[in-house]
Chain A
Amino acid sequence: MGKKELGLLVLVLVIGAITTALNPRFLSAVNLLNMANLIGLFGVFSIGQGLVIITGGIDLAVGSIFALLGVVFIDLLANHDVAWPLALLFVLVGGLLIGALHGLLVTRAKLQPFVVTLCGLLIYRGAARYYTGDATIGFGYAEGLESLTWLASGRSFGVPNPFLILVVVSAVMAVVLHRSVFGRYLFAVGRNEEAARYSGIRTGLVVAGAYIVSGGLAGLSTVLLVFYTNSVSPSAFGSFYELYAIAAAVLGGCSLRGGEGSILGIVLGTVLLQILQNLVNILGIPSSLNFAVMGGVILLGALADQELARRAKVGVVARA
């Protein structure tokens, strides 16, 4: 565990302790399980976001991808009697394809990631709303979904499945990012793309890979989120979630300049964000202040990080 992750862990514990002191209900089983569930839901796609950020890019489209894939997913199940494994596959592949499209536009057409995914954000949201005529869509009388419902929103050993899924996803992604050749390439591209190319790395493939992973994880998250809300209203479903993901990644030590970050950090970032949300609810702070609290803490975190970096500057390579 690096210094950043350790600092974040301490922060999580401190804020948790303060909240507990103010309201002991924070540590109640119900509250903890509820938080674990939300951490699972938000963690999965934040990891994808983190990968993209490590390459020096950004993925603004995830929230809208949830809406588009979400309405299609429910429509397949509720109105077209598609078997759930097929619908699940459809959503996962859909996510991967959207990611691949973003990757292509960024690496082949050389568009800026911000522009590509901003357009995605607008287009997918619009498409989702058009698909249902702006109406909320639910499962209605769809049958045979018990096992999928359980998978996506049930519990195993008393722990919410989304949390367990996050554990598995982070374990796999930790290997990918920190123990695999591809992971090393991701950092290399984020640190110095030209040097990466000089080293013989096919940087286009690597960057596209990050968007594909992000898209795939967004597909997986869609399913989890759909079963969390049980219905999708295309104008609101998942909106702003890309910002949660970016916030979690940045809190977790990813630099928007690229080349920095870790899976553990991103997960801890997600945990911290959820604790903050929870703190707002449980301390009776008006929920309208929700975003303000979040923004404030991220700002403080960024400032503290700068300060630490400045002090730890033992041998910084002078701009040379």
Chain B
Amino acid sequence: MRTSLAGEPLLELSGIAKRFAGVLALSGVDFTLRAGEVHGLVGENGAGKSTLMKIIAGVHAEYEGEMRLDGRPVRFRNARDARDAGIGMVHQELSTVPELSVAENVLLGAQPTRMGVVSWRRMRAQARRQLDAFGIDVDPRAPVGSLPLGLQQMVELARVLLSGARIIILDEPTSALSPPEVERLFALLARLRETGRSTVFISHFLDDVLRVSDEVTVFRNGRRVEGARADAVDKAWLIERMVGAGHERLGESHAGEMRLADRPTAPVVMAAERLSVPGLFEDVSLSVYAGEVLGIYGFMGSGQLELARALAGKLPLDGGAVRVDGQAARLRGGTPAAKRAGIAFVPESRRAMLFAQEPVYRNISIAILERIGRVLLRPRAERRIAEGHVQSLGIRPAGVDRPVGQLSGGNQQKVALARWLTHLPRVLLLSEPTRGMDVGAKDDVVRIVRGLRDAGIGVVVVSSEPETVLSLADRILVMRRGAIAREFVGEPVSKDRLLAAA
């Protein structure tokens, strides 16, 4: 894959600094992107990767330093300027418009018109072609918000990759994709590279980064640490530079086999019987024991995310019953009803879960306000509780008064988790809990989840990343096409076995 030598510098940034309300997010960053290269960008949560890319894509117009495109200085005032200059970006948090149809999203800002009027027929046809080129099979008329996150991400990728942009920035594009989808993306990247386009690829999956990139650059604390040719370095090299000297934390490798715990003898906290939602999953029964972590693994679209949403009351069940501690849980009332029954849920999408403009402490306390003070608020207690969680989860920056929307992606995920740690639910459903997290943060999540398990609640981890399930679960269910295909309990398991069962 790395045969063609990258060409001339296409985009050069020098001395870039960016402050948010006085706080440095980037300083003295130099960055060069060459024509026809795939450039991997890695760094811990909050290292400044997304911020730098948003500067390139015109989202952040205020910054210090210089940017040159084709050798000429440029300064984008907004995303449109950048797009007109041939720069397209897929954001970490999806920026599709949920209410608009797939076709509208794919062609956002480039709708075909006939005499000034949007031509819906041509728009659908063109969107269809772009989606087909990418192997996505969805109805162009469906509202994007109604699709599972993975498909939404594919739609967004289709929009940017096929927009004709010369420079394509992908900020964690694979976090919601299934392995086959990731393969398709990589194949497309290779094709784009052949045609001389340049890509920036940000990911916490270091193996992926090393595989697709020509060049890699490591960021730490808002600075560029080092860059190298991807074939000259390995994963350990990257991690060393990401976390800095002194505290090297290598994520556990799950390439080898590990042995799962035997079936617990503790009481069942949640029992689900014969659950069905037409078209998504059929006749699923499962039990969650007190003090265990149950992992549910499956490829994207196998129904495991939907199962979690149904258990959380988010998706109406067509049939079946759910019991918590032997009591029937009435899930008709939606997520609030599920919460009252003792089931708490952290969805895979942060945007759906957090109040971006509200400070961190309010995002944490919102679910327990009635416990802190029945009628009146007690802001000091709220803040104290939040500070405790921010400390113990290692949320950075450590203040609780910053709007949560200003935190980096991985830290937002921790805030979402912190919401349920004060008054423990009986069952905690985590959907893709480590999505977008760096190695260290993933370890933090493992630690938190083990702590919860030891506190005696039932934890369900639903994911389409084998590593996530393997690092967290005591017992694993594998779903395939809307049904439970296999249970792993008290036996050796490995990534290969999981993939084989899915």
> B31-39, B91-99, B263-271, B481-489: which one contacts chain A?
B91-99
User: Which parts of B349-405 form the interface with A (CB within 8 Å)?
Assistant: 351-358, 362, 366-367, 369-370, 373-377, 403, 405
Closest to A201 in B: B336
Closest to A316 in B: B405
Is there contact, CB below 8 Å, between B354 and A181? Answer: no
B60 at the interface (CB under 8 A from A): yes
Is there contact, CB below 8 Å, between B60 and A195? Answer: no
Q: Considering the chains assembled together, what is the distance between the CA atoms of A197 and B419 in angstroms? A: 13
B136 at the interface (CB under 8 A from A): no
| A192-B355 CB under 8 A given contacts A179-B376, A181-B369, A197-B336 | yes
Is there contact, CB below 8 Å, between B340 and A195? Answer: no
A194 at the interface (CB under 8 A from B): yes
B237 at the interface (CB under 8 A from A): no
A155 at the interface (CB under 8 A from B): no
Q: Considering the chains assembled together, what is the distance between the CA atoms of A195 and B353 in angstroms? A: 4
A199 at the interface (CB under 8 A from B): yes
Point out the residues of chain B lying under 8 angstroms from A198, CB to CB.
Answer: 335, 345, 347, 352-353
Is there contact, CB below 8 Å, between B339 and A315? Answer: no
Is there contact, CB below 8 Å, between A181 and B355? Answer: no
User: Which parts of B116-154 form the interface with A (CB within 8 Å)?
Assistant: none
User: Which parts of B25-84 form the interface with A (CB within 8 Å)?
Assistant: 54, 59-60
Is there contact, CB below 8 Å, between A191 and B369? Answer: no
| A317-B335 CB under 8 A given contacts A181-B370, A181-B377, A184-B366 | no
Point out the residues of chain B lying under 8 angstroms from A197, CB to CB.
Answer: 334-336
> A11: shortest Cβ distance to chain B, in Å?
25
Q: Considering the chains assembled together, what is the distance between the CA atoms of A132 and B369 in angstroms? A: 49
Q: Considering the chains assembled together, what is the distance between the CA atoms of A179 and B366 in angstroms? A: 14
> B501: shortest Cβ distance to chain A, in Å?
31
Give the residue among A196, A201, A320 with the most B Cβ atoms within 10 A. A320
Is there contact, CB below 8 Å, between A318 and B21? Answer: no
Is there contact, CB below 8 Å, between A201 and B366? Answer: yes
Q: Considering the chains assembled together, what is the distance between the CA atoms of A104 and B25 in angstroms? A: 47
Count residues of chain B with CB under 8 A from any CB of chain A. 40
Point out the residues of chain B lying under 8 angstroms from A183, CB to CB.
Answer: 377
Is there contact, CB below 8 Å, between A191 and B377? Answer: no
Is there contact, CB below 8 Å, between B336 and A188? Answer: no
| A315-B403 CB under 8 A given contacts A192-B355, A320-B93 | yes
Point out the residues of chain A lying under 8 angstroms from B358, CB to CB.
Answer: 188, 191
A85 at the interface (CB under 8 A from B): no
Point out the residues of chain A lying under 8 angstroms from B367, CB to CB.
Answer: 199-200
Which of B21, B344, B366 touches A314 (beta carbons < 8 Å)? B21
> A216: shortest Cβ distance to chain B, in Å?
18
> B359: shortest Cβ distance to chain A, in Å?
12
Is there contact, CB below 8 Å, between A195 and B369? Answer: no
Q: Considering the chains assembled together, what is the distance between the CA atoms of A61 and B5 in angstroms? A: 69
B422 at the interface (CB under 8 A from A): no
A202 at the interface (CB under 8 A from B): yes
Which of B345, B351, B377 touches A179 (beta carbons < 8 Å)? B377
B178 at the interface (CB under 8 A from A): no
Is there contact, CB below 8 Å, between A195 and B355? Answer: yes
User: Binary interface profile of B, 394-424, with partner A (CB < 8 Å = 1, else 0)?
Assistant: 0000000001011000000000000100000
Q: Considering the chains assembled together, what is the distance between the CA atoms of A185 and B336 in angstroms? A: 13
Which of B353, B357, B377, B405 touches A184 (beta carbons < 8 Å)? B377
Is there contact, CB below 8 Å, between B370 and A315? Answer: no
Point out the residues of chain A lying under 8 angstroms from B336, CB to CB.
Answer: 197, 200-203
User: Which parts of A144-189 form the interface with B (CB within 8 Å)?
Assistant: 175, 179-185, 188
Which of A188, A317, A318 touches B403 (beta carbons < 8 Å)? A317
Closest to B51 in A: A318
Q: Considering the chains assembled together, what is the distance between the CA atoms of A175 and B354 in angstroms? A: 25
User: Which parts of B232-290 form the interface with A (CB within 8 Å)?
Assistant: none
Point out the residues of chain B lying under 8 angstroms from A80, CB to CB.
Answer: none
Is there contact, CB below 8 Å, between A180 and B375? Answer: yes
Is there contact, CB below 8 Å, between A181 and B335? Answer: no
Is there contact, CB below 8 Å, between B419 and A317? Answer: no
User: Binary interface profile of A, 38-70, with partner B (CB < 8 Å = 1, else 0)?
Assistant: 000000000000000000000000000000000
A3 at the interface (CB under 8 A from B): no
Q: Considering the chains assembled together, what is the distance between the CA atoms of A59 and B253 in angstroms? A: 58
Which of A191, A194, A319 touches B357 (beta carbons < 8 Å)? A191
Q: Considering the chains assembled together, what is the distance between the CA atoms of A185 and B365 in angstroms? A: 11
Q: Considering the chains assembled together, what is the distance between the CA atoms of A175 and B375 in angstroms? A: 10
Q: Considering the chains assembled together, what is the distance between the CA atoms of A317 and B366 in angstroms? A: 20
Is there contact, CB below 8 Å, between A318 and B59? Answer: yes
Q: What would be 13 A-B contacts, judged by CB atoms less than 8 Å apart?
A: A180-B375, A180-B376, A194-B352, A195-B355, A196-B366, A198-B353, A199-B367, A200-B335, A200-B339, A202-B333, A315-B403, A318-B60, A320-B91
Residues of A within 8 A of B (CB): 175, 179-185, 188, 191-192, 194-203, 259, 314-315, 317-320
Extra 8 A-B pairs, beta carbons < 8 Å, given A188-B355, A200-B335: A195-B354, A195-B355, A200-B336, A203-B336, A315-B406, A318-B91, A319-B95, A320-B95
